[in-house]
Amino acid sequence: MKLVSVVMPTYQRDLLYVERAIQSLLDQNYNNMEILIIDDSPDTYENRSAIKAYILNLRDPRIRYIQNERNLGGALARNVGIRMAKGYYTTFLDDDDRYLPEKISAQVAFMDETGYDMSFSNMLIKTMGEVLIDVRNYSNVWSFEQEEFLKYHLMRHATGTPTFMYVTEKLQSIGGFDDARMGQEFYLMLKTIERGLSIGYLDVYHVVVYKHKGDAISKGDNKIIGENELYERKKSYFHLLSQDQISFVRMRHYAVLAVAYKRNGDFLGMISNLFKAFFAAPTHMLKEGVKFVLKVFEQRRRYAEKTD
C-alpha cells in the first residue's frame, strides 16, 4: 500500500467541524497515510488551543500538526503541507468537510491501475443538517485530450479540491496552489492541464462538502472581485473557444455574480447580472437551470433510497 499524504488546512473553524473532518480520515479503510493538519489560525483565535489539544490527544502517529507562524491563507497553507508531504500520493480535505470511508482506497486503486498523474471525482454538497442541496458530477466531460479538456474546464470548472489526488512529485513539480483571491482550485487544475499532467476521472461520490453560514469566502466584495479577476483570466483563452462556448462562459460568469450579489443583499446587482447572463446565452441559461433542478431532485431520490 502506497503512503498517501492528506493535507488539511484549518482556519478559525469550530472544533466540532474539525473533529468530524479528522474522524472521517481515521475511519478510512486505507491505513497507510499521513495526515498533515496545517493550522492557519491566528494566536488570538479562542478555539486554537482546544483544536490543538484534541489533535494531540488522539495520539495517532499518522497525524502531523503544524502551526503557521502567521496567517497564510488557504492556498499557501496547503502548499506548506504539499512541501512536507512524504506520500507517493497527495490529496486534500477541508476542515469542515468529510470523506466517505472508501474515498482514499478507491482513488489509490484507480491511480495505481491507470497510472494517471492526477485524478478527481464527484462531490455531494449538503447543508449542516445533512440535507443534499447539490452535486458536482463530471461525467459530461467530452474529452480528456489536453486542449479539449482545457475548453471543458474554462466552461464548467473541473474542480473540487477534496476530490483531487496527485502523484506527489508531480504536484510539487508544478508548484502547488497559486495564491489567488478566488478560484484557487480552478487555477490549480488549469496549471495541471497546461503542464501536461495526465488526468483521470473517477465517477464516484466519496466526498461530502458542507455549506453553512460560515462560508465567508462565498460572499462579500472579495467574491465579486475574485470572480471578475477569474473572468479576465478566462478571456485570455477565448481564441481557443467557439463563439457558442464563449457565450456559455459569459453566461456562467454573470450567473455566478448574480448569486454573489444576492448573498451580499444587493438585489439590484443580482437582477442586473441575471439579465446579463440571460442575454449572453439565453438557451444555455434555460437548459442549465432545468438541468440543475432535475439533477438535485434525482440525487436526493437516489440518496433517500440508499439510506432507507
Q: For 224-243, how does the pLDDT look when each residue is reduced to its tens digit (9 = 90+)?
A: 999 999 999 999 999 999 99
Give the residue with greater pLDDT, 305 vs 91: 91
d(CA 103, CA 163): 9
**Average pLDDT, integer, range 92-98:** 96
Taking each helix axis from N to C end, the angle separating 243-263 and 221-235, rounded to the nearest 10 degrees, works out to 170
The residues that bridge with 65 in the sheet, in sequence order, are 37
Query: Per-residue confidence at 291, pLDDT binned at 50, 70, 90?
Result: confident
pLDDT for residue 54 is more than 80: yes
Mean pLDDT of 51-74: 95
Query: Cα(17)–Cα(13) distance, rounded to whole angstroms?
Result: 7
**DSSP secondary structure string, 55-100?**
HHHH--TTEEEEE-SS---HHHHHHHHHHH--SSEEEE--TT-EE-
| 205: phi then psi, degrees, rounded to nearest 5 | -115, 95
What confidence tier does 262 reach under pLDDT thresholds 50, 70, 90? very high
In Å, how far are 19, 37, 241, 245, 278 from 12, measured between CA atoms?
Answer: 13, 13, 41, 39, 38
For 229, which DSSP code? H
Q: Work out the mean pLDDT of the chain and round it to a whole number.
A: 93
How many C-beta atoms surround the C-beta of residue 55 within 10 A? 21
* Residue 298 pLDDT level (bands cut at 50, 70, 90): confident
- Paired sense of beta strands 63-67 and 118-127, if any: unpaired
Neighbours of 161 (CB within 10 A): 22
Q: What is the pTM of this model?
A: 0.92
Of 195-199, 214-218, 254-258, give the lowest mean pLDDT range.
214-218
CA distance 124 to 264: 25
pLDDT of residue 306: 58
Grade residue 72 by pLDDT with cuts at 50, 70 and 90.
Answer: very high
How is the chain split among helix, strand and coil, in percent rounded to 5?
50, 20, 30
What is the mean predicted confidence (pLDDT) over 170-198?
A: 96
Q: Is the pLDDT of residue 308 over 60?
A: no
| pLDDT per position as a tens digit, 124-162 | 999 988 888 888 999 999 999 999 999 999 999 999 999
Q: Does the pLDDT value for residue 307 go beyond 80?
A: no
Q: Give the pLDDT confidence score for residue 295 in this predicted structure.
A: 73
Indicate if the pLDDT at residue 29 is higher than 60. yes
